[in-house]
Structure formats: C-alpha cells, structure tokens
A and B are shown apart, each in its own frame.
Chain A
Amino acid sequence: MLETDRRAFLKVGSAAGALSATGIGSAMLAGQTAGPARAAAPSPTKITKSVCHQCPARCGIDVYVTDGRVHAIYGTLDHPISNGKLCPKGHFGPYILYDPDRIKGPLRRTNPDKGRDVDPGFVPISWDEALDLVAARLNALRARGEAHRFALLAGRGWGVSDDGLRDTFGKLFGTPNATLGHSSMCSDGSKKAKQALDGNYAYNAYDYRNTNYILNFGAAFLEAYRPFNYNMQTWGYIRTKAPKTRVTVVDIRVTTTGAAADHLLLVKPGTDGALALAIAHVLLTEGLWDRRFVGDFMDGRNRFVAGETVEPALFIERWTKDLVAWWNAELKDRTPEWAAEVTTVPAHRIVATAREFGTTRPAMAIFERGPTTHTNGVYNGMAIHALNALVGAMYAKGGLLNQMSVPYGKLPWNADEYMDDAAKAAAERKMPRIDRAKTAAWPMVSNMVQEIATNHLAGEPYKLDTMMFYLSNPMFSAPDCTTWERALKDVFVIETSPFPSETSRFADLILPDNTYLERWQDTPTYPFQGWPMAGIRSPAVPPLYDCKTFGDTLIEIGKRIDGPMGAYYRQVDSVENVLRHLAKGFEQNPGDNGVDGFESWVEKGVWYRKPYLYRQVDGDFYEWDGVDYRRLMSEEDVKAKLLKTESGRFELRSSYLEHYADYIEEKLGVPADRVGFPQWVPPAYHGDGDLFLVTPKTPIHGEGRTANLPHALSLYQPVAGGRNDTFLEIHPATARARGIRNNDPVRIISPLGSITTRARLYPAARPDVVVLPYGLGHWAHGRWAVSSKTGNSSEIIPNVSDPISGLTANYSVLVRVERA
C-alpha cells in the first residue's frame, strides 16, 4: 500500500500519523454507524491505488484513508482510463463499503422452506464450518459421479483471480457448469456480429480521439457504454478539438448522449439495421465508400444504382469480401425511402446522415446493446459493423481496433497433472452445460444464463444440485425472472454477495465476499485502446467484517475437495499468491509506468504498455516496428492477427454464419443461401401490447451494486426528473389516450404480469416507446433498495433471445400501459 502525506499542512502531525497509519482494524473497532471522533490532531492520509467496481470499465482509483476510514475516492491521475477523473458512480465507493445492510459473516439457512416472503432463518456460522459444509456436499456429489450438477454462475468477472479461477475449478471438479456466465444478458450480440464479419468474437477497442465522425447506434456513450469515464473525457476533447468530431446518435429514446450529439434519430425499436443498410446503400450509390480498403470498379465508374444488380467481376475488392454479392442480394433495394418506412426516420435525414458519415474521415460506426437486444440483433449489428468496412475504419487511425491481451506470468501449477479419474471421466463424458449453450439447442452462443432456470425446472438436460452465485442475481435481473424463484427452491444455493439480494433470500449458505475496497483482485482491461493493460485491487482498509474474497472462497473450497484437486488448491493457496505469479509476467514486460513486478503493480495500481501494434493506413496493414507503423503485414499476417475470418478479409458474406445456415433458416426464416449477408430481418416483437418497453441503464446505475445507496437513488433518473425513484417516460399524447396524467400511478402489463410505477409525461419521447430505467424494484435487498415504489421490469419481460448470439431480446417487448 502506498502511503503518502498528501498535504503540506498535515505533515505537522507526523508522529500521530505513524501511529494511525498502522492502526489496522480501527474502522472495525470504531463501529459502523458512528462518525470519527473529532480529534484536534491532524491525521495523515494514506492513498491506496485500486480499481473501481461500479461498472466493467476498470478505472484506476485513489482511495483516501484517514484514521482507518475511507472518506474519499478520486480517479488515479496516472491511470490511462481514469486520468484522475471519475464518473458519478466512482464516488459511491465509501457508501458501498459502509452500507449498513451488508452481510457481516457466513450465514446458514435453517428454514428449508423457500419463497419470496419466507424467512430463511439465517444463523451465523464460522468460515470453517461453512467451507466444510460446501466441501462435504461437493465431495458427495463427486463420489456419486454427479459433479456436473454443481454450477457456478458469475456476473461481472474481473480477472484471473476470480472469474479466471472457475475454468480450472470446473476441470478438476468435473463439471461443465463452473464457467456459466451472464454475457447473454449483457451484450453478446455485438460480439457475435463482429465475429461474423471480421472474425473476432470480441468487443472492439476504439481510437476515439482521432476520429472525426461517430455514428452511434444505441450505445449510451455518455451514460453506460464502457468505459463511461473515459468516454466522457474523450467527449470533452473531441467536441472541442479542431475539427470538431461530429456525432449522430441513433436511438429509441432521448438520452444525454443523443441530446449532446449533433443529431439524434429516434428509430422504431429493432430497426437500426434497416437504417444502417440504407446508409450503406447511399454510401455505395453515391460513391462514398473507402476505395483503398474496400476496392473499386475496374474502370473507376460507379455502377451501384438503386434496384440494379452489378456484375461481380467488375469490382476488384481489397480487404472486404463479397461486396457486390451483398449489393445484389440485399443492398440494392435498401433505399432510404424503404428504410424510412421501416424505421420511421424520414428518407432525407437518412441520406443526410449517410453523406455526412461518408464524407468525413476518419469515421466510425459504433453500436452496442440497443440494436442487438432483439431477435434480429446480430443482423442489425452486422449491418452497422459493415459500415466500418465501407468507410475503412477497421484498424485505421481514428477507427476500430481489437484488444491485446496482458502478458501475465503463467501460474506454475499445471492443472492437468491434478486431474483424478473422476475429473478425467467427466472430461471424457462431455456433459452438456445446464444452460445448453453450444448444444443443438443453442449452437452458436457462449452463454445462455436466461435458460438455466427453465432447463433446471424441466430437468433438461438434468437437474442441478448445488448452485453458487458470484456477482450475479438473475432472480432479479434475468428476463421472466420469477421463474428463478421456482427453480431455486430445490437447489442448494450458495450466494457470495456481500449484500442481501433476491438470491440470498433463496440461499442455503451465504459466503459473503469482501467489497472491492477490501480485497485483492486483478483487473485486465476490457477493450479500450488496444494496447494491453491490467489493474490490481489491493485492500484500502482491512475487511470490516468476517467476509472472504470470492477467489479465496473458491480456493478454500478447492482445498477441501478430496484427492489431487485439494492438493492443487493448497498449491494455489490464495488470490494474493495468484496475483504474485501473474505479476511475474511484468518482469520481462515492464509497463510504461515502470511496473515490473508485484510490488510496483500494487503501488501504481496498473500495468500498461503502449502502443497498439497494428494500423491500417490507406488499405495497407502495418505492424509497429518499435518506432512507427512501418512493417508491412502480409495477408497471412492480417488473417492471423486482425481479420480472423476464414478468408482473412472483412466478410460481407459471413462464412461463419453459413456454417450454421440450416439452424438460422429454421430459427429466423432467412433462406439458407442468404444467411451470410448483413441484411434486414424484421424483429419478432413479443408481448400483446402496443408500446415498446425500454429499460435502460442510467449513469447512476452501478450494475446492481448501487441499488441500496440513498445517494444513488436520489439522483437516479435526472433526465425525466426521477429522483429517489423512477418514472415511466411516456409521450403526452400516448398518456392522454390512456387517461394518464403526469405523476399518475401506472401499470405496465405484459403476458407475464404487471408492475406499477408512476408516469412522467415526456414530450420528447417516441409515442410508441415507454422508458423505465432498469435497476429498481428489489423485493429482497438493503433497506433503501426495497423502498422503491417502482416494480422490477425483469418480471414482465418475456424470455426471448436472438437465436444466433443468445442475447436476450429485451427491447422487443410490447406492453400495455394503463392508469393504476
């Protein structure tokens, strides 16, 4: 931990300082509800470098601790993401740490009955007892050859020292279910769209600072899109640089992003793809595509004319593949007039957008969850991502990149050597996962968390015995979430959240995690600017309560499993030990900030190494040679490192999708010979209502970790005046037709049931869309979280998913709204 005297005037009390700097546990002793004693003597402030936990962005933070208490958190100045700044959520850390409703130690359920209103009858239990209890259960499962009936579901994973431990745990234990993830409720659609076209199943990194045009489809750049903090830093820069970066936002509701942009196009939900196709159509008909990346007609004469096919042989393609085939099969008919019908955006605005986008370079088209959380999500995403090829944004300055991985040190223990017969037999058996991801049911997806409850209830493929949860609460957050209440009745539930939750109400055992300010953890970056980066959390204060960091809990359980698995985890020992081994990788790869090992990593809080190694310049790919991008890459190089499709090019007819042609035809009705093209597939709206229900994340929403913070609730939905609670944003005409007045209580009804909230008449809203910010309506949580008058939207959102990506089609739901 770094100790710094921050203020000149504080240096006076250095004797007292030395004393209290070592005052470990003073926060614990002083009691949680009392403020600090008002002492006269100045106390020194100790700053611990850590990483924020309120969203996935991994901002470096300075945690200010005086007299054993965390009293402030600011961004770390020499951290590439935070640069000394924070988003609104970053400052919530102290409230999270000192949340009065935290679970203060392991708890065991005494009431076998489970239900919403059933008191679990929790009794405190020691960690040894708790871990032995889990181990006994798991050892018995294993002995019965039913290791697969143990599942571990994680939400926000961070790095090797938590999420990354699960794979080995599953392998040694013998369950395919240790790596269940939440990504199918997150944003798998965009990754899948990119995989289809450029071969990378990953979110992109972006060179925002050098772009001059951002065409943004449904990515809440200034609200939720990661890294939110850095996005805002970028915004301040790109919107005041010369030339000013122009921004057009396509969304289905008024966001601060859309309001701050130059243009906001409010489309009908799920039709972003149609708009993107029309923009592509205009780029081609008006000859605005990037010829150096895409290629050109042999004679330079543009033959793209609306409605007319083109002879493929006439066009010489560079880094794209099958542009003309795409045009002939799809684009030629995707005129702005056609798109105007589908999207409700007037044709002249589509043309204007296309011209602006096509004539400004560098330009990029970005998108995230908005367009992809529909049954046609991947096709919407592909239509948008294809624009990046047309304007030559792939790997260009001011364009899109892919994230490089961190050169961590290898862990010195080879898990394969610790596999006993049971583990080997399980590996042989290849049991399907409980979520049926990568089975015939969902062949193309990586996770299918929203199916777990139904699958378990149906016993298909089997029934779970024990399920452990880490940073995930699908009983609140999954579509049709009440199904989980039925499903988890006969499952032994282990919850690790340090806060009460719906899951903990159903838990048989609570093994509470430490909050992020009390724990060790590595945090390799999410896609950011391409070059590798990894932060580290170290405890700013000793744990306030008898809690254990999740990674350590998992390791401790591992130690108690019979056979070589236990031996393996005795080697691994602890999260801190894992981190020390990871940091060895930095010895050969010192970071730009001098981090070359564990101690310096902890001191600086982050390791990173610039630059990004690749750049496309005018249709040629170059690799960094130590000074500049000067080493020309071969086509093989590009295929191996960047455009990882079968052809090694940006495929406008996706070979990846064509491998699943029959499946896609069956599920989406797209003819098998067309499945590879980015194209218009109408979204399947579900529900029996007439209004689209959108449930966005607000800038204050910290992924389920801020639900019980009164300060957060007091600022929750500022755009529509939702303070201390949330409102349903509804257009005045829509409201009037239903007899709803401002502030009236309203009921939102879907085939699954109804929830209530209050109406906010919002004239800027689309008349066919109602907006209810997501995150409120807990029925089991801390005292503030359960006090909301707004219901939980997950209860009325049907469980429908995009068959290709598996992403939940949350924004396709049509509801009815009436006065309550």
Chain B
Amino acid sequence: MPRWGMVIDLEKCTGCQACTTACQMENGRLPNENWQDVLFYNEGEFPSGKLTWLPRPCMHCENPSCMAVCPTGATYKTEDGAVLIDWDRCIGCKYCMIACPYGVRFYAEEKQKTQPDIREVFPDPDGDRVWGPPWQLPADRQNNKIGVGIQPKNVVSKCTFCYHRISQAPPGTRDLDPNDPNLRDYTPACVVTCAPTARYFGDLDDPESEVRRLIAEKRGTRLLDHLGNRPQVYYLAGEQPAIPETRSVRMRDEGEA
C-alpha cells in the first residue's frame, strides 16, 4: 500500500493558478472554493519589492488535526495516506475548519463573493446538493464516502488528492507521472496540468520514488512543521524562497490601518 504524497517545487512554480482551475473543473468547485489555492505574498518596496507565491492544496497530514477533532469520524485517513471526508457522516459542525492549520477546508453554505450566485444559476435538480453544474464529474465517479463530486448541502469539503483518480492507480505504482499515458488519468488534476512540472506525486514510503529523491536532493520542507501535523505535501524552495513564515503577513502601514 503506497502512502501518497506530493512535492511542489517552488523554483519552478510560476503562480499561474492552473492547478486551481484544473481542480475547480475536475471537482466541480464553486468560484472561490479553491481546494487548491495559490497564495500571493508581497515583501518590500519599489524598487526592491518582492512578490512570491505559494500553491496550497490540502496537506493530507500524517497526524491530521482535522481528523482528531471530528466528533463523528466523518474525516478519516485512508490506508494509502489521503485525508478524506465522508459526506454522509459529516454534521457540518465545522470544527475541522477550526482545527486545520492550513486553511484548506470549505463550507459552501456561505455568501458567494462572486455575484450573481452561480448556485442559483445551476441548481441541483434534486435539490439535495449544493449546486448542479452541467460540467460536474459523471455521476458514477461521484462518491459521498470519499468526498468526491458535488457535495450534499451543509457539509465540509476539501482536496482529496483527487482520490477518485489516485485510488484507481495500478497496484505497485511508485510515482504517478502524468507524462505516462497509462498513469495520467490516475494522477491528481493539479499535477496533470502543472505546466512547469512543479508538482510531483508518488509514494512517500518508497525510498526509490521520485518524490523521495526530490525531498532528499532539494531539501523538501513542510509547512508549519513545528505543529507536528507532518504534512504529506513537501515544498522545495530552491532559489525561490517563497515559503511564507507567516500565515497571513501582517498588514503594515499600507494605509490599511
């Protein structure tokens, strides 16, 4: 059984947000419900201001605090390392959203920032899901038990590592390489589309996997490692030191206060 993990090379990442849009399309996300987001940070001033960015999927932690706080066991960890939500067990208490240090969980029952509200334009015909866009994943691939597809109302959702794809990978797969035509459809959407190949996906327990090699050679680091959640998403900073030390850089004097 692999333990899937992702490596994101920030030296290659161009901040284009294709990962975000690919995820939105594959997983039927609402605008702003970015399971996979790209965060932008700014430091300094003209002429030496520095713009950096950080793509942020769910970290699929080894010790997921979201799972620890879930009072119903709706959030669980699979044997192959993904942290998933069983939408049929989730009671919408949102404690997991409080407990996730990385801000990767979403509750769709909020005011839509993009108006008009697209949920009203594409309502779910049965009325029991958040919305029903025509481009959603074919019905036979949607699955409440693993939190894939359009979610029922009043539950929390998050990145699944595209579990509907990775879980179909042939047994013994070491790395899910999107350039391999035989593995492409089992690779997470964000990894498939990433143009500069800043994303790698593979078995963290296999010392011979590409992800393990990259983590070793390019000094993979994890976000907020001191919290002990032990993310299964590693960042390679290289010469592009974009891992923010802060969760939301303090707004300083920019006329904001």
Report A-chain residues with C-beta under 8 Å of the C-beta of B133.
35, 98
Partner of A764, one of B46, B131, B238: B46
Beta-carbon contact of B12 and A240 below 8 Å:
yes
Report B-chain residues with C-beta under 8 Å of the C-beta of A239.
11-12, 196
Beta-carbon contact of B179 and A84 below 8 Å:
yes
Chain A residue nearest in CB terms to B116: A783
Beta-carbon contact of A66 and B138 below 8 Å:
yes
| A228 and B137 alpha carbons, distance in the complex (Å) | 27
Task: State how many angstroms separate the Cβ of A219 from the closest Cβ of chain B.
Answer: 14
Beta-carbon contact of B12 and A84 below 8 Å:
no
Beta-carbon contact of A256 and B256 below 8 Å:
no
Beta-carbon contact of A254 and B135 below 8 Å:
no
With an 8 A cutoff between CB atoms, is B63 at the interface?
no
With an 8 A cutoff between CB atoms, is B38 at the interface?
yes
Beta-carbon contact of B12 and A763 below 8 Å:
no
With an 8 A cutoff between CB atoms, is B232 at the interface?
no
Report B-chain residues with C-beta under 8 Å of the C-beta of A40.
139-140
Partner of B192, one of A74, A256, A724, A766: A74
Q: How many residues of B sit at the interface, in one of the four size bands?
A: 35 or more
Report A-chain residues with C-beta under 8 Å of the C-beta of B22.
74, 86, 91
- Of residues 1 through 50 on chain A, the ones whose CB sits less than 8 Å from some CB of chain B are 6-9, 13, 27, 30, 32-43, 45
With an 8 A cutoff between CB atoms, is A88 at the interface?
yes
With an 8 A cutoff between CB atoms, is A735 at the interface?
yes
Partner of B42, one of A7, A713, A764: A764
| A734 and B125 alpha carbons, distance in the complex (Å) | 52
Task: State how many angstroms separate the Cβ of A663 from the closest Cβ of chain B.
Answer: 38
With an 8 A cutoff between CB atoms, is A542 at the interface?
no
Contact with A along B108-119 (1 / 0, CB 8 A): 000001111010
Partner of B18, one of A7, A34, A83, A91: A91
Task: State how many angstroms separate the Cβ of A5 from the closest Cβ of chain B.
Answer: 11
With an 8 A cutoff between CB atoms, is A578 at the interface?
no
Residue of A723, A735, A743 with most partner-chain B CB within 10 A: A723
- Of residues 672 through 731 on chain A, the ones whose CB sits less than 8 Å from some CB of chain B are 699-700, 710-711, 713-715, 718-721, 723-724, 731
Chain A residue nearest in CB terms to B194: A85
Contact with B along A326-361 (1 / 0, CB 8 A): 000000000000000000000000000000000000
Of the listed stretches A182-190, A229-237, A422-430, name the one at the interface; the rest are far from the partner chain.
Answer: A229-237
Contact with A along B226-257 (1 / 0, CB 8 A): 00000000000010100000000001011110
- Of residues 186 through 239 on chain A, the ones whose CB sits less than 8 Å from some CB of chain B are 222-223, 228-230, 232-233, 235-237, 239
Partner of B136, one of A71, A86, A766: A71
Report A-chain residues with C-beta under 8 Å of the C-beta of B136.
35-36, 71
Q: A7-B168, A38-B142, A94-B135 are in contact. Are A723 and B113 (CB under 8 A)?
A: yes
| A239 and B47 alpha carbons, distance in the complex (Å) | 23
| A718 and B22 alpha carbons, distance in the complex (Å) | 16
Beta-carbon contact of A84 and B184 below 8 Å:
yes
Task: State how many angstroms separate the Cβ of B170 from the closest Cβ of chain A.
Answer: 8
| A794 and B144 alpha carbons, distance in the complex (Å) | 47
Of the listed stretches B23-31, B71-79, B99-107, name the one at the interface; the rest are far from the partner chain.
Answer: B23-31
Report A-chain residues with C-beta under 8 Å of the C-beta of B125.
34-35, 37
Beta-carbon contact of B195 and A85 below 8 Å:
yes
Report B-chain residues with C-beta under 8 Å of the C-beta of A568.
none
Partner of A718, one of B24, B38, B49, B129: B38
Q: A39-B139, A783-B116 are in contact. Are A763 and B16 (CB under 8 A)?
A: no
With an 8 A cutoff between CB atoms, is A260 at the interface?
yes
| A761 and B42 alpha carbons, distance in the complex (Å) | 11
Chain B residue nearest in CB terms to A741: B255
Report A-chain residues with C-beta under 8 Å of the C-beta of B114.
710, 713-714, 724, 784
With an 8 A cutoff between CB atoms, is B225 at the interface?
no
- Of residues 87 through 127 on chain A, the ones whose CB sits less than 8 Å from some CB of chain B are 87-92, 94-95, 97-98, 100
| A38 and B26 alpha carbons, distance in the complex (Å) | 17
| A613 and B127 alpha carbons, distance in the complex (Å) | 60
Report B-chain residues with C-beta under 8 Å of the C-beta of A73.
25
Task: State how many angstroms separate the Cβ of B58 from the closest Cβ of chain A.
Answer: 19
With an 8 A cutoff between CB atoms, is A740 at the interface?
yes
Q: A260-B240, A723-B32 are in contact. Are A95 and B195 (CB under 8 A)?
A: no
Beta-carbon contact of B42 and A762 below 8 Å:
yes
| A724 and B198 alpha carbons, distance in the complex (Å) | 26
Report A-chain residues with C-beta under 8 Å of the C-beta of B26.
72
Q: A74-B193, A84-B179 are in contact. Are A719 and B40 (CB under 8 A)?
A: yes
Contact with B along A521-545 (1 / 0, CB 8 A): 0000000000000000000000000
Task: State how many angstroms separate the Cβ of A257 from the closest Cβ of chain B.
Answer: 8
Chain A residue nearest in CB terms to B140: A42
Chain B residue nearest in CB terms to A262: B239
| A468 and B24 alpha carbons, distance in the complex (Å) | 36
With an 8 A cutoff between CB atoms, is B15 at the interface?
yes
| A700 and B114 alpha carbons, distance in the complex (Å) | 15
Chain A residue nearest in CB terms to B133: A35
Task: State how many angstroms separate the Cβ of A222 from the closest Cβ of chain B.
Answer: 4
Partner of B255, one of A86, A710, A732: A732
Beta-carbon contact of B40 and A718 below 8 Å:
yes
Partner of A9, one of B9, B11, B132, B168: B168
With an 8 A cutoff between CB atoms, is A742 at the interface?
yes
Task: State how many angstroms separate the Cβ of A762 from the closest Cβ of chain B.
Answer: 7
Beta-carbon contact of B115 and A86 below 8 Å:
no
Beta-carbon contact of A236 and B12 below 8 Å:
yes
Q: A89-B21, A91-B24, A95-B135 are in contact. Are A84 and B14 (CB under 8 A)?
A: no
Q: A6-B185, A787-B115 are in contact. Are A222 and B14 (CB under 8 A)?
A: yes
With an 8 A cutoff between CB atoms, is B17 at the interface?
yes
Beta-carbon contact of A87 and B195 below 8 Å:
yes
Chain B residue nearest in CB terms to A41: B140
| A222 and B9 alpha carbons, distance in the complex (Å) | 16
Task: State how many angstroms separate the Cβ of B22 from the closest Cβ of chain A.
Answer: 5
With an 8 A cutoff between CB atoms, is B172 at the interface?
no
With an 8 A cutoff between CB atoms, is B20 at the interface?
yes
With an 8 A cutoff between CB atoms, is A409 at the interface?
no
Beta-carbon contact of B134 and A88 below 8 Å:
no
| A259 and B118 alpha carbons, distance in the complex (Å) | 34
Beta-carbon contact of A732 and B113 below 8 Å:
no
With an 8 A cutoff between CB atoms, is A67 at the interface?
yes
- Of residues 28 through 54 on chain B, the ones whose CB sits less than 8 Å from some CB of chain A are 31-32, 34, 38, 40, 42, 44-47, 49-53
Beta-carbon contact of A90 and B51 below 8 Å:
no
Report B-chain residues with C-beta under 8 Å of the C-beta of A84.
178-179, 184, 192
| A222 and B240 alpha carbons, distance in the complex (Å) | 15
Beta-carbon contact of B184 and A235 below 8 Å:
no
With an 8 A cutoff between CB atoms, is A56 at the interface?
no
Beta-carbon contact of A732 and B254 below 8 Å:
yes
Report A-chain residues with C-beta under 8 Å of the C-beta of B2.
none
Chain A residue nearest in CB terms to B45: A763
Report B-chain residues with C-beta under 8 Å of the C-beta of A83.
179
| A32 and B198 alpha carbons, distance in the complex (Å) | 36
| A67 and B11 alpha carbons, distance in the complex (Å) | 40
Task: State how many angstroms separate the Cβ of B67 from the closest Cβ of chain A.
Answer: 27
| A417 and B42 alpha carbons, distance in the complex (Å) | 64
| A97 and B24 alpha carbons, distance in the complex (Å) | 16
With an 8 A cutoff between CB atoms, is A69 at the interface?
yes
Can you list 29 contacts pairing A with B, beta carbon distance less than 8 Å?
A7-B185, A33-B123, A34-B122, A35-B150, A71-B25, A71-B137, A84-B192, A85-B192, A88-B21, A92-B21, A95-B25, A223-B16, A235-B12, A236-B9, A256-B14, A259-B15, A259-B50, A266-B47, A700-B17, A711-B21, A714-B32, A715-B17, A715-B34, A718-B38, A719-B40, A732-B255, A742-B256, A763-B42, A787-B115
Task: Sort A-B residue pairs by CB-CB distance and give the 4 closest, nearest first.
Answer: A764-B49, A236-B196, A35-B132, A94-B135
Q: What 5 new A-B contacts, CB under 8 Å, besides A7-B185, A87-B16, A98-B134?
A: A34-B125, A35-B129, A91-B21, A228-B16, A258-B51
List residues of B whose CB falls within 8 A of some A CB.
9, 11-12, 14-18, 20-22, 24-26, 31-32, 34, 38, 40, 42, 44-47, 49-53, 113-116, 118, 121-126, 129, 131-140, 142, 150, 168, 178-179, 181, 184-185, 189, 192-198, 238, 240, 251, 253-256
